[in-house]
Amino acid sequence: MKQISGIGQGPILVIAAHADDEALGCGGTIARLAELGQKVHVMFMTDGVSARGSGDAEARRHAALDALSLLGAQQPVFGEFPDNAMDTVPLIEVARAVEEVVASLKPTCILTHHHGDLNIDHQIVNRAVMTACRPQPEHCVQTILSFSVRSSTEWGISSSSNLFHPDVYIDIAHVLPKKIKALQCYSMEMRHFPHTRSIEAVEMEAKLVGARVGMNAAEGFKLLRMLVRDE
């Protein structure tokens, strides 16, 4: 089996607060990994709409299923934490939910949110992942990468500790159309340009991130942890 360098051949788990975060943050990478024959699982923590007082949670769920099918991911896990209010839940409860899924799927690599995002749910998910995946002996998770999400990461507090500075770049040039099609499944969440969460902005970002490292299009990640153990 071919693989993306640094990610390995084991199962991949994307842990996202809301359905659409996965497509925005790492949709191209999901598609690439799936093409290579790796099993990519996704865990959503909230329904993504209940905080608004309106919105169709079932429609959002169906959009997620359609998007992940296009990207080649496995059937997702849907959590039931309060949307945009995950800070009202003790962190240990969120971490335990992550632990249960990790124990079941045994991923070797996790992709999740950047800690400095504006959205509180994104922040909590990052903390829960790092708590649940403490580097204990024999723990299955070897690599943790964080991704950025349009209209959240770039709108966070502008401090050196919060800024997203990717140091891992994955070429998504040939799967960028798949990422765009997946985002079109979330039409209720996308906006018109020049909004940062528009199809045009996503395409431009992919090309700009790629150009920084000599690629036609790429997704950038921040390496949070990588363990290289003796066989």
Structural domains of the chain sorted by starting position, each given as residue range(s) with its CATH number in brackets: 12-226 (3.40.50.10320)
Q: Give the residue-averaged pLDDT of 58-82.
A: 97
Q: Are 13 and 102 in contact (CB under 8 A)?
A: yes
Handedness of CA 64, 132, 149, 40 (dihedral sign): negative
pLDDT at residue number 5 = 67
Of the candidate ranges 4-8, 92-96, 101-105, the one whose mean pLDDT is the lowest: 4-8
Q: Give the residue-averaged pLDDT of 214-227.
A: 97
Q: CA–CA separation, 182 vs 225, rounded Å?
A: 28
Taking only the tens place, the pLDDT of each residue in 162-183 is 899 999 999 999 999 999 999 9
Q: Give the residue-averaged pLDDT of 138-160.
A: 93
Token pair recorded at residue 198: 């528009």
Taking only the tens place, the pLDDT of each residue in 102-124 is 999 999 999 999 999 999 999 99
pLDDT at residue number 157 = 81
Q: CA–CA separation, 144 vs 107, rounded Å?
A: 10
pLDDT at residue number 4 = 76
- Its pTM stands at 0.96
Of the candidate ranges 27-36, 49-58, 110-119, the one whose mean pLDDT is the lowest: 49-58
Q: Give the residue-averaged pLDDT of 186-207.
A: 97
- Does the pLDDT value for residue 8 go beyond 80? no
Percent share of the chain, pLDDT over 90 = 87
Q: Strand 109-113's sheet: what is its strand order?
A: 77-81, 40-46, 12-16, 109-113, 143-147, 218-226, 168-171
